[in-house]
Amino acid sequence: MPDEAPATDGMLIVVDTHDRETGIVDKMTAHRHGILHRAFSIFVFDANARLLLQQRARGKYHSGGLWSNTCCSHPRSGESLLDSAHRRLRDEMGFDCPLEAVFGFVYRATLDGGLVEHEFDHVLVGRFQGTPVPNACEVEDWKWESLPAIQSRFADNPRQFSAWFKTALDGLLARGFPQ
């Protein structure tokens, strides 16, 4: 059985539209009321510029079963963005790699179950050659996929992807990633 999670795991950092911290709130309150909070999305590419996608575990409190970027989560209060990203990449996907923060954006989306995702999402990029060992509580499936294949899948059925995925991916592509 894994170690018990710290009490801060259920707390999110509330921010303004400039990512300035204004407080903390519990995760479910933030998602029920659409409170703007800090998050991150990690995109890991291999040497062939394929993106490591994950299918979110169906038991997750929102967006279960949807395909998304390699890893996404929320930093803990007092934890740096990079420290939290490395921690969650190890926890979710079972590996770590160097990460670079590329850009951030604010989005708001209505999700299943009446929840609202309202995040200042920091997008990070990494490179990895290997086989992930995902946490089954977090990840139902995974695959390395080319960007043209992902874009085709998204055009055919955008509802199979998480609400933040296309905005984050488009932002990376506009900035010349993958390099």
Catalytic residue set? 72, 119
Which pairing describes strands 71-73 and 37-45: parallel, antiparallel, or unpaired? Answer: antiparallel
CB atoms within 10 A of CB 20: 10
* Residue whose tokens read 């007092």: 78
Please measure the distance between the N-terminal and C-terminal CA atoms of the chain and give it in whole angstroms.
40
